[in-house]
Amino acid sequence: MNYQLDMLLSDQPAVLERVLQTTRYRGFKVDSMQMQPASKQMRVSMQVSGQQPISLLTSQLHKLYDLASLECQAQLARNSELQSA
């Protein structure tokens, strides 16, 4: 299943490393990621995929002290991916 995660993170050293490590440890693969600075914070948008329930990942991300907000949406597989398979 594919998911879109939109996060607002503190602009601190190694915050992305913690997010990516948490994502990997919970069995998810990062398919794409975008970052944009927002004053003392940064907006990060990630598309992840995995077979695990997304609640395993979001509950762990919420524990990160650098996370200000998190929104998660399920994404449908792209038609082009389905047709090429």
Task: Assess whether pLDDT exceeds 60 at residue 81.
Answer: no
Query: How far is 53 from 37, CA to CA, in rounded Å?
Result: 30
State residue 84's pLDDT score.
45
Range of the domain at 31: 2-77
Q: Is residue 85 part of a domain?
A: no
pLDDT in tens, 4-61: 999 999 988 899 999 999 999 999 999 999 999 888 899 999 999 999 999 999 999 9
Sign, CA torsion 17/19/22/28? negative
Q: Which two tokens stand for residue 72?
A: 């998660």
Q: Is residue 11 part of a domain?
A: yes
Query: How many domains, in total, are found in the chain?
Result: 1
Inter-residue contact 46 to 5 (CB < 8 Å): yes
Q: Is residue 41 part of a domain?
A: yes
Q: Look up the CATH number of the domain holding residue 12.
A: 3.30.70.260
State residue 37's pLDDT score.
87
State residue 79's pLDDT score.
39
